Amino acid sequence: MVTQWSPATPLKRGVIYSWAVSAIVNGQTVTSTAPTAPEIKFKILDASKMRQLEQLRGRGLSHLALGVFYAREGMLAEAEREFRVLVNDNPDSQIAASLLRAVQSWR
């Protein structure tokens, strides 16, 4: 059974791709997305955004800066993770809690 995949050619930066997984279960093909479900998409960060992310990571750990970057780029799971840590580190911060709630509402 194959559980991973690599593209034949590298994916291009800055491009939005659609993703679906199909499997054969009891002789029937099952696809990861139902016909009524929203399409699963992902984007490869372009080179300048990747440099920005590397700079943010290189400056030390700022959950606020990383969370804002991720949210701006549509990386909601990553933004939520950073804002959750920010809230845990700053439990009295209304701004941190508000940022976390905003990102959670987008999902």
Residue 73 lies in a domain: yes
What does the CA dihedral 99, 79, 73, 50 come to, rounded to 10 degrees? 130
Q: Which domain holds residue 70?
A: 16-106
Q: State the DSSP code for 46.
A: P
Model pLDDT for residues 36-79, shown as the tens digit of each residue: 677 778 889 999 999 999 999 988 889 999 999 999 999 999 99
Residue 95 lies in a domain: yes
Residue 63 lies in a domain: yes
Helices (H), the chain: 47-58, 63-72, 76-89, 94-106
Residue 88 lies in a domain: yes
pTM, to two decimals: 0.74
Residue 7 lies in a domain: no
Q: How many structural domains compose the chain?
A: 1
Residue 5 lies in a domain: no
Model pLDDT for residues 8-30, shown as the tens digit of each residue: 999 999 998 888 777 788 888 88
Q: How many CB atoms lie within 10 A of CB 96?
A: 21
Residue 70 class from Cβ within 10 Å (0-12 exposed, 13-18 middle, 19+ buried)?
Answer: buried
Residue 9 lies in a domain: no
Contacts of 37 (CB under 8 A, 6+ apart): none
Residue 10 lies in a domain: no
Half-sphere exposure at residue 34, Cβ-oriented, CA atoms within 13 angstroms: 2
Q: Report the C-alpha gap between 76 and 2 in whole angstroms.
A: 28
pLDDT band at residue 105 using 50, 70 and 90 as cut-offs: very high
